[in-house]
């Protein structure tokens, strides 16, 4: 395979209207393209992701999309003020405190959107 031109994430959504409201009201993102059964989001840093309507949304038990940030604490605080709830984990090799875990060379926090998709925010720790 040749080098891909771009890479993007595709997330399932049972209810696109509900998902649109979450991404707009909680995350501050507006859809940049809309087609029947699909919303697309893109931004100046080059991120691209799509939401597509399907009855199977919310069945994955893994992280489905990750975002890098330069200030995890500030972003977590801002999103909490908007009503986003961060997950707490206490698993072998992964334990959160106040929603944030140290994972290798990153600090990370996870939340679920209205469709059950798990999204991770991560900040690389200076070495």
Specify the pLDDT at position 5.
66
35-51 confidence digits (pLDDT tens)? 999 999 998 777 789 99
Give the total number of structural domains in the chain: 1
* Whole-angstrom Cα Rg for the chain: 15
Question: From the first residue on, what is the mean pLDDT of each consecutive set of 10 residues in the chain (127 residues)?
Answer: 75 96 96 95 85 93 92 96 97 94 94 96 87
* Alpha-carbon distances, residue 25 vs 7, 81, 119 (angstroms): 26, 11, 16
Are 76 and 70 in contact by the 8 Å Cβ rule? The answer is: no
88 located within any domain: yes
2 located within any domain: no
21 located within any domain: yes
Domain that holds residue 13: 9-55+62-124
27 located within any domain: yes
Its pTM stands at 0.90
104 located within any domain: yes
3 located within any domain: no
What CATH code is carried by the domain that includes residue 85?
A: 3.10.180.10
């Amino acid at each position: 395979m040749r080098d891909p031109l771009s890479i993007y994430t595709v997330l399932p959504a049972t209810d696109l209207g509900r998902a649109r409201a979450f991404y707009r009201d909680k995350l501050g993102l507006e859809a940049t393209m809309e087609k029947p059964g699909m919303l697309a989001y893109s931004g100046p840093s080059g991120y691209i992701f799509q939401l597509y309507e399907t009855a199977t949304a919310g069945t994955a038990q893994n992280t489905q999309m990750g975002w890098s940030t330069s200030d995890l604490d500030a972003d977590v605080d801002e999103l909490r003020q908007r009503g986003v709830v961060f997950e707490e984990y206490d698993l072998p090799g992964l334990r959160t405190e106040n929603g944030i875990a140290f994972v290798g060379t990153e600090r990370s926090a996870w939340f679920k959107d209205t469709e059950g998709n798990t999204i991770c925010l991560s900040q690389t720790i200076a070495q």
